[in-house]
A and B are shown apart, each in its own frame.
Chain A
Amino acid sequence: MTERDIRSEMKDALTEIFNVGIGRAACVLSELIGDEILLTVPQLGMMKRSEFIELAGQMWKMPACIVRQSFNGPFCGDALLIFPARDSLELVRVLLAEPSPIETMTELEREALLEVGNIILNACISCIADMIGHEITNALPVYIDSAPGVLIESLVLAPDWYVIFLHIDFTVQRTNLTGNIVFILDVPAIDAFGTAVMSLIEQFNGEP
């Protein structure tokens, strides 16, 4: 396989893994709120830190809400669920089915958003773990209210790290919302992750 083929295979595999992951999350959420939820991953990208910072600068010109959860296993890193501040408020209110005139997120609503993040990120992490056959653990999520520039700064972990970047579309009760999932991995982690995913692909490549 050429470098490009590998990249394309990787991307295909990751999209499938994350689709299954957030599909599971949608399942959990829909059971919780007793309503159908559609969650899809229309786009996935892998990029270097510098590319990500450029993209993030373009994407998040408005304040954002971040749920951040670190994970640990054959590779370590941080998983983030990012919403524009307005969308996160709408998401929580749709999920809680409780329209509220209060303009900022209340303490309990924030707690609910944390749980949503926990469910989605856990599902993604557990799916990766299942597929590559390794255990990946994770800590509790934390909530970050972020101004656009601060977000990038808060993410600077090491000079070299890689980012797996996903758009996710939520559809709940005819409300469509878009968020992003970001997996941040340092160089050893991305190598380990890449190796794990490639061996998964190889495992099924034997057949014609």
Chain B
Amino acid sequence: MTAEETMLIVDDARLARKMVRSFVATTRPGMTIFEAADGKEAIKILEDMPSLSFATIDYNMPGMNGLDLAMIIKERLPSTRIVLLTANVQAPLRRRAADIGIDFIDKPVTEVKLSAFFNRAAPRAADQR
């Protein structure tokens, strides 16, 4: 909720990125938002960033899938709260996400689903500081 909060939105669909951005603007005004269309672009953006508060990552993207990208971010910036966005929330994927400690949002994204993520994430993010 402070001005230093940063967020990375990774999705190959422009519409999906815009939707997330628009909901973030209403639930967490003042957030600095970065966008990437795929895993490669996301990693490039992260290279120059000392920290990242949040990341929403689409699961189904060309090239690297969302889960693999999430693991890379977790390794580089362990305090980042990550949520995986997909319409295909099958049990095995849910388990794999839980294993590396990331959240889930069933597509399409809504304001309610996103604010639930922020509510879950905020206290934990505070703990780690």
Contact = CB atoms under 8 A, between A and B. Distances in A.
Interface in A10-47: 12-13, 15-17, 19-24, 26-27, 30-31, 36-40
Interface stretch (B46-54, B66-74, B82-90, B116-124): B82-90
Nearest to A205: B18
Contact of A207 (B25, B88, B107): B25
Given A9-B14, A16-B13, A204 B87 contact: no
B92 A40 contact: no
A37 B92 CA distance: 10
A140 interface: no
B60 interface: yes
Nearest to A23: B87
B108 interface: yes
Contacts of B15: 9, 12-13, 16-17, 200-201, 204
A130 interface: yes
Contacts of A204: 15, 18-19, 21-22
A205 B60 CA distance: 23
B90 A131 contact: no
A206 B87 contact: no
Contacts of A131: 108
A39 B89 CA distance: 12
A204 B25 CA distance: 11
B16 interface: yes
A127 interface: yes
Contacts of A36: 90-93
Contacts of A24: 87-88
B77 to A, nearest CB: 25
Given A12-B15, A27-B89, 13 more contacts: A19-B60, A21-B87, A26-B87, A26-B90, A36-B91, A39-B88, A130-B108, A201-B18, A204-B15, A204-B18, A204-B21, A207-B18, A207-B21
**Nearest 8 interchain pairs by C-beta:** A23-B87, A16-B13, A23-B88, A204-B18, A20-B87, A13-B15, A20-B107, A30-B90
20 contacts: A12-B15, A13-B13, A15-B13, A16-B13, A19-B13, A19-B87, A20-B108, A23-B107, A26-B87, A26-B90, A31-B90, A31-B91, A36-B92, A37-B90, A38-B88, A39-B88, A200-B15, A203-B22, A205-B18, A206-B22
